[in-house]
Amino acid sequence: LRLGDRSVIMAALVLDDLVLSASRRPELLDSEIELCWVQSADLEFDKHKGETWRNGTLAVTSHRLLWLKPEHDSDHQTTSSAPARDCSLPLSSVKGHRGVNSFFKKTPRVILSVWRSAEGRPACAEEAQAEELDEVSVALRGPSGSYDTMEKNLTLALSRQEWKRAPVRKTGLTVGETYALATERQRGATSSAKVGASAAGIGGLVRKQREDNLRADKSIDGAFKDLAALMDKAREMVDLSAKLKEALRENAESADDTNDEDKGIEKFLLTLGITSVVTKTTAGSMFHQQLSQQLSDFLEEPLKKSSGALALVDVYCIFNRARGIELVSPEDLIEAATLFPKIGAGMRLRKFESGTLAIQSSEHSDEALYEKLEAMAQEGGKPVGIGPDDVAGGLDIPLILAREYLLMAEQDQVLCRDDGPDGLRFYRNFFRDLFEY
């Protein structure tokens, strides 16, 4: 459980501050996976009437229940004297839950029974005081289907109890072998079913339906176990990449100069390791916003290593490589990039005259770029022609962006071109020095 510098005290229950990234994405615990996101969710502390945090965003993960307050103060309302904050509730402290969703209830709710320690913090049953329980209601005022989405995923998380599991489990079987074994057992159970007098009549049909439902539940459970094996393997690879990155950083600090091979490996490792990818299934109607936030967090290090700019085609490749099998479409990637200003990300999507798309850091400056290009176009005070290859190597940027920068500098009269026997070269525009205007 991650504790912030401050704790949020509401009623008798102390909820922990939720640590967020620069794009307001929650920082997940080890092996924690997002299951679903729900908009317009209120937290109601039922034992203390009138205390409610309104209009937040709720997330159910494999380990916790996360609540994010609205980004704009005008959207935030609270009936408590204490201001609402981004907070989290560990699922290990939830004794049980019940749903209230009927035609006569305008707002569906999920009511959680939470174990509380002597200090008033959420605790597991072993640490909690005897019969010390608090109730927290989650009122779902968002789109239709929010109740079913949350209730289904909350039930799944509570039943699986991922927080009790080791980070990586090794069964000795591959995912395919595990699935084949489960399928074989299922066939054996079906073939061994006995047929007798009890299977006749309406009572027999009812019993058969119950057996079918039980087999379906077992099949679903087997599928989730198979998925967990795949997720565990992904976590293992992420841990490996993190260790290699740390080793490379230590090597770079201890050595005077890191060779090109190590730099290439480090760049590759920077594109690995999204343990909980945003999908349309988990994020729902918030998919593009959540994808934009995850993308901006992911691109912070690659942008630093690429002089503050990356071609969108390169972003598409490295981002999908990090997402594994959950690939994102080009259309969704562009839509997510266009939301950078809305979420306050430190980067933006830029379209050049030729139609080339790139993502640039907010710290990128065309004037600073022009100064670098002018310096490259002079050597010992003498003019030197430069081409896309020279700029790409000198600034450590993709060739496609180097060409766009040269054309952009020519349009702004910083450079001028010479299309001669040696090909297209760009020189410093000395005509600006002759004609001041």
Do 91 and 123 contact (CB within 8 A), yes or no? Answer: no
Dihedral angle over CA of 293, 295, 301, 303, nearest 10: -110
Confidence of residue 168 (pLDDT cuts 50, 70, 90): very low
Strand order in the sheet with 347-351: 309-311, 357-361, 347-351
pLDDT exceeds cutoff 70 at 174: no
Task: Give tens-digit pLDDT for 333-380.
Answer: 999 999 999 988 989 999 998 889 999 998 888 888 888 998 898 887
Rounded to two decimals, what is the model's pTM?
A: 0.68
Confidence of residue 48 (pLDDT cuts 50, 70, 90): low
Q: Which residue has the higher pLDDT, 303 or 71?
A: 303
| 11, two tokens | 């009623």
Q: In this predicted structure, which of 186-190, 238-242, 427-431 has the lowest mean pLDDT?
A: 186-190
Do 90 and 1 contact (CB within 8 A), yes or no? Answer: yes
Mean pLDDT value of segment 212-226: 59
Confidence of residue 330 (pLDDT cuts 50, 70, 90): very high
Q: What are phi and psi of 321, to 5 degrees?
A: -65, -35
Pairing assessment for the beta strands 87-90 and 64-68 based on DSSP bridges = antiparallel
Cα–Cα distance, 30 to 107 (Å, whole number):
34
The CA–CA distances, whole Å, from 170 to 32, 219, 223 equal 18, 21, 17
Cβ atoms within 10 Å, residue 119:
9
Cα–Cα distance, 174 to 189 (Å, whole number):
23
Q: Identify the DSSP state of 39.
A: E
Task: Give tens-digit pLDDT for 51-104.
Answer: 788 889 999 998 999 999 887 654 555 555 556 789 999 999 898 888 887 766
Rg (CA), the chain: 28
Pairing assessment for the beta strands 7-10 and 13-17 based on DSSP bridges = antiparallel
| 151, two tokens | 């209730």
